[in-house]
Amino acid sequence: MNWGISRLIFLKSLLNFMVFVVMRSYGFNILAIPFLYASLVFLLVSIASNPQINLPMLLGKNTDGSFPIWSMIMFGPFLFFVRMFSSIRRLLSHEEPYNEIYEGVYVGGWPCSFDKCPPRNPAVIDCTCEFPRKPEFSRNGYLCVRTWDTRSPQPSEIESAVKWACRKRAQGVPVFIHCAYGHGRSVAVMCALLVALGVVDNWKDAEKLIQKRRPYIRMNSLHRTALEEWAKHRLSPINRKVETDVSSVILSNSIENK
C-alpha cells in the first residue's frame, strides 16, 4: 500500500505533539496549545488522506478553486505547511515549472506566479485539494479535480477532466494540467488526455512520452491502477462518439485556420 502523504503528515502530527509535551513539562502551558492544535489537524489530514478513506473534500476547497474562511482557520497549520514546503522544494529542486507535452497541452506544478504558468493564458485543470486557484491564470476556464498529494483522481474524474480538456482543445484553447509539482496527479490525467487526443494508443505509451518531456514525473501504483480502470471503460459507444465528435471539431478548426 502506498501511504505517501498519510505517513508524512502523521509524522508531522507526532512531532507537534512531542513539542507540546515538552513545552508542557517546562510549564509553558499556554504557548503549548497551538502545537497541540496543529498536531490534531495533521492527524485528521493523515487519516482523511489514507487510501482507504480518501476524503479530499475535507479541506473545503470549492469548485472554483477558492478556500472558505472556516477552512483557512481550521486547517491553517496544514495549508501553511504544504505551501511553505512547496516553496522550499521548488527552490532546491530547480525543476522546470511546466513542460509542453503536446501542441498546446502542458503539465506542471502549481502556478504560484506568472512565470510558473504556460503562455497564451491556458484553460487550467487543477488536480490539487491543498492549493488555491490563481484566478488571473485561468481566464479561459478552470476545472478543479480535488485530489490528495501522492493519490490519484478517480477514473470517473479522469474521464470528466479529459472530456473538458477536449472541449477546450476543440475551441483552440491551450490546456494546462497541474498538481503540486507536476509529478503524479496531473500526469495521470495527462496520460488519459493524450490517449483521447489520439497522440498515443494507450496510457503506458503516454507515460513514456511524458517522461521524455518531463523527466521528473513519478507516478505510483495508485495512479496506474486508476488509469487501468479508466482504460477499461473509455471505449464504450458513448465515449467513442464523444471523442469522434471532438476530433471532428478539432480537425474542422484546423482546416479553417489554414
Q: What is the predicted pLDDT for the residue at 3?
A: 60
Q: What is the predicted pLDDT for the residue at 143?
A: 97
Confidence of residue 240 (pLDDT cuts 50, 70, 90): very low
Q: Look at residue 248 and tell me whether its pLDDT is greater than 60.
A: no
Confidence of residue 150 (pLDDT cuts 50, 70, 90): very high
Paired residues of 124 in beta bridges = 142, 176
C-alpha distances in Å from residue 183, one per residue of 56, 123, 133: 18, 19, 19
Q: What is the predicted pLDDT for the residue at 2?
A: 52
Structural class in CATH, domain 96-250: alpha beta
Burial category of 47 from C-beta neighbours within 10 Å (exposed 0-12, middle 13-18, buried 19 and up): middle
Q: What is the pLDDT of the chain when averaged over all its residues?
A: 90
* Residues sharing a CB contact under 8 Å with residue 198, sequence separation 6 or more, in sequence order: 247
Confidence of residue 234 (pLDDT cuts 50, 70, 90): confident
Q: What is the predicted pLDDT for the residue at 241?
A: 47
Q: What is the predicted pLDDT for the residue at 178?
A: 98
pLDDT digit string (tens) for 153-210?
A: 999 999 999 999 999 999 999 999 999 999 999 999 999 999 999 999 999 999 999 9
Q: What pTM was computed for the model?
A: 0.89
Question: Which grid coordinates are listed for 22?
Answer: 515538552
Q: Look at residue 4 and tell me whether its pLDDT is greater than 90.
A: no
The share of the chain scoring above pLDDT 90, in percent, equals 82
Q: Look at residue 76 and tell me whether its pLDDT is greater than 80.
A: yes
Question: Which grid coordinates are listed for 17?
Answer: 505533539
Q: How is the chain split into domains, by residue range?
A: 5-87, 96-250
